[in-house]
Structure 1
Amino acid sequence: MGTITRNKTGKGRRYRVRYRKPDHTEAEKRGFTTIREAKLCLSMVTVAKSKGEYIDPPSSRVPVRMFADSWLRSEQPPMSKPSYYMTLERSWKNHVAPVWADREIFSIRRS
């Protein structure tokens, strides 16, 4: 849950959304021109938190390489078989890294 507040700026009326992140710290997004946009943003954040898919905006500015490195470390033996890990590592180096390694996570869209 969160709150939507209205404030007046030089460009007219704008709306601000405040909510709590999963780690219980407060976050806000501002600059919405309509209350509908603000409600939609708050709804999307609430649904993402409830599904466990919430990504903190500052954290999403890291390159995919950092995420992949930590994920590959978590898959190392004894968590998985050595042959499976070698396949993952090889696929990352040969197919995924050349295209995706330097992209920031927030810039990737599903489409």
Structure 2
Amino acid sequence: MEKRTYLRITKLLFAESRNGCGKAMKINDICIQMLPAGSGDCIYIEFTNANFRMLIDGGYVKTYQDFLKNFLIKLKKDGKRLNLVIVTHVDDDHINGIKHC
């Protein structure tokens, strides 16, 4: 992947993390979705050509209850699964949603 694509992804992630809109963005074969997590983080990234999906942080418990649970159920119904889950650190706004999975 080119350096230019990385910069574009970084800019989009930064913009989306500020508004937490939950809309999916697609750049080449990479789909990025920021799930609403209040002041926390919950980022889903899918590399479609590589059939690889990851979740970075899980937000608060409310994030799991209101968004992440249904998102993961739909993922499973679509025959997909997470290949990697990353917890950046153990603050409540990053880990509690994952603890409820």
TM-score range relative to shorter protein: under 0.3
Greater Rg, structure 1 or structure 2? 1
Q: Which has a greater percent of helix? A: 1
TM-score by length of 1: 0.23
Q: Which has the higher contact order (CA 8 A, sep 6+)?
A: 2
